[in-house]
A and B are shown apart, each in its own frame.
Chain A
Amino acid sequence: MKVNTKMITEDEVLVIVGPQSSKQAVPAGDVADNYATPMISPWSTNPDTTKDRPYVFRGCFLDPFQGPVVANFITNEFGYTKAAVLYDVASDYPKGLAEFFKEAWEKIHGEGSVVAYESFTTKDADFSSQLTKINQSGAEVLFTPQYYNEVALIVQQAKELGWTKPIVGSDSWGSAETVALCGEACYGLFFSTHYAAAGATGKTKAFIDRYKEKYDYTPDDVAALTWDSLGIVETAVKKCGKITGKIEKDRKCVRDAMAKIEKYAGITGQMTFTEEGDPIKCAVIVKISDKGEYEFYKSVCP
């Protein structure tokens, strides 16, 4: 916080890239916006970071955004019309995402097309009654935006109760633990996320290769999103042309240029900012391969 104020008032920075986590990005965004200094947080997913702050942007999509993404993906990929949802009613992230998915799904397939909307409570281990209901409901696909430990239990129990249809998740699946705990039961399933290293092509692959060469490990989504945020800033600064030296004027110029950027082609997908400074971008659908790796499957836009 202090660092942020110092950077703005004393070091007279033109634009800030960071911080990453919402815990710091929300207050830092406040400072940046007050001093009319453009800032972009690559990884903060909390809506408050950019809300009512014209000078603050972000590089990633918000949680709610995955609802429509997954709904679209399932509809286009499989052509299903009846979906089931199973989520933890006591946890913000899954609960929010379940609601957004339901809304999006019913927008496409009509009222009542989410044929089973079942919940449980954190720490539950037995989902048999919910899954039996889901089985019974005639749903063609199950969406469960849960964390890795629950994913393992849900998927295994679903299989044991005779569920053979696809199960789809969200970026909370994206931990290496998911496959470690779930094992083969999870092979072949899909989830949405920001970016996938395995199976990447083109620009993304080039970035990964260069990163690997330099740091000797595969870049994660934070690295990729930061790379894109830097690219956006670069584009905006170039658009402004010459730096006048009048810091206030230059900052305003950069901010306006960022807001106007259209279809920036980043390694995590194409981006255009909304009025709030949140990107409209495509999400990545990952498929868990037969070896248990997270493979890039396709890019899905809202």
Chain B
Amino acid sequence: MVFFFQNLINALQWGSFYAMIALGYSMVYSILMLFNFAHGDIFMVGAYIGFGVATGLVALSASGFLALPGWMILVLTILLSMFLTSFVGMIVERVGYRPLRDAPRASAAITGLMIGIMLETGNLILLGARRVSFPPLIESVTYNVGGVFVTNKKIMIVLVSLSFMLALHLFVQKTRYGMAMRAMAFDYVVVPLLGIPINTIARLTFAIGSALAAVAGILFGVAYPVLDPYMGIVFGWKAFVAAILGGRGSIMGATLAGFLMGFIEIFVAMVFPSTLRDLIAYSIILLILVFRPHGFFGEPYSARLRL
């Protein structure tokens, strides 16, 4: 039982990363019908921006100029990095995708891969191949709850990511921007005819997805404090699988599927030899997709792009 709960806690943390990244894929897909394959690398960039901001703030704090407690630095790091990373997303959209809006989808997908490679190598050139370690902003405290070990970091990560996901949900359901995103997800053509500029909505979607990826990147840095320029690749693919599993374009779906993937990975490793983890975990996911080809919340519609 203890064993089970320990894994449950582990899976919650792990799944929250998948969920946050999957959301970015899903949002962009839903409004532009394209998978932004650079998203995993935007996550990486977000983590590095977070690293830069955090390191700067720590130095500032250490210099005595502006003594801040660790949690305050973390909050500031998250907010600042979200802001900065959202610009990365908007630039990617403007430079990489908008010129290809009417190109075949395959070209746009390739663009994503290329931008990803550019971001990776850009990082390599900028910082070198050395792995950097994310500064420990909050003192790690481990609680032993009847044999289940929980750290304050884990609790914080799960809570912070859940609240960002909730905020996104409210944004999409309750505001004019979110409503426009949902409308655009179903019918791309009607939205501008109501006087709403789709480029603004597209840019906003990229910005929000990227800001969320930055949150994920920073929390990732807190949990796994070794960053490397290629950290977003496999992770991005897996989150992409979660986005598909959730149902393309579904926010609720991406969130649930992200957590589910975390649970599957962790619990498969609990039961089977860890060497077989991904093999078994992804066979299960494949099986789910065979029975639910549109994912959990995906509608079997193909969006109407033509008049």
Contact = CB atoms under 8 A, between A and B. Distances in A.
B131 A177 contact: yes
Contact of B269 (A133, A136, A177): A133
Given A126-B14, A162-B149, A181-B131, A152 B266 contact: no
Nearest to B3: A136
Interface string B265-284: 11101100111011000000
B274 A152 contact: no
B231 interface: yes
B46 to A, nearest CB: 15
Contacts of B70: none
B130 interface: yes
A120 interface: yes
Contacts of B7: 128-129, 132
Nearest to A133: B270
B140 interface: yes
A110 B99 CA distance: 66
A161 B148 CA distance: 8
A294 to B, nearest CB: 18
Contacts of A128: 7, 10, 13-14, 266
A120 B142 CA distance: 24
Interface in A121-160: 121, 123, 125-126, 128-130, 132-133, 135-136, 148-150, 152-153, 156-157, 159-160
Contacts of B153: 160
A149 B225 CA distance: 9
B274 A132 contact: no
A46 to B, nearest CB: 23
B140 A132 contact: no
B151 interface: yes
Given A123-B230, A153-B224, A129 B270 contact: yes
Nearest to B142: A160
Contacts of B225: 152-153, 156, 181
A135 B275 CA distance: 18
A153 B226 CA distance: 7
Contacts of A161: 6, 149
Contacts of A150: 226
A270 interface: no
Interface in B194-233: 220, 223-226, 228, 230-231, 233
Contact of A89 (B142, B230, B270, B275): B275
Contact of B142 (A121, A133, A159, A183): A159
A119 interface: yes
A125 B224 contact: yes
Contacts of A159: 142
Nearest to A180: B133
B179 interface: no
B234 interface: yes
A118 interface: yes
Contacts of A126: 10, 13-14, 223-224
19 contacts: A89-B275, A119-B274, A120-B277, A121-B278, A123-B234, A126-B13, A129-B7, A129-B267, A129-B274, A129-B277, A132-B6, A132-B10, A132-B270, A149-B228, A152-B226, A157-B224, A160-B154, A162-B142, A181-B226
Interface of A: 89, 117-121, 123, 125-126, 128-130, 132-133, 135-136, 148-150, 152-153, 156-157, 159-162, 177, 180-181, 183
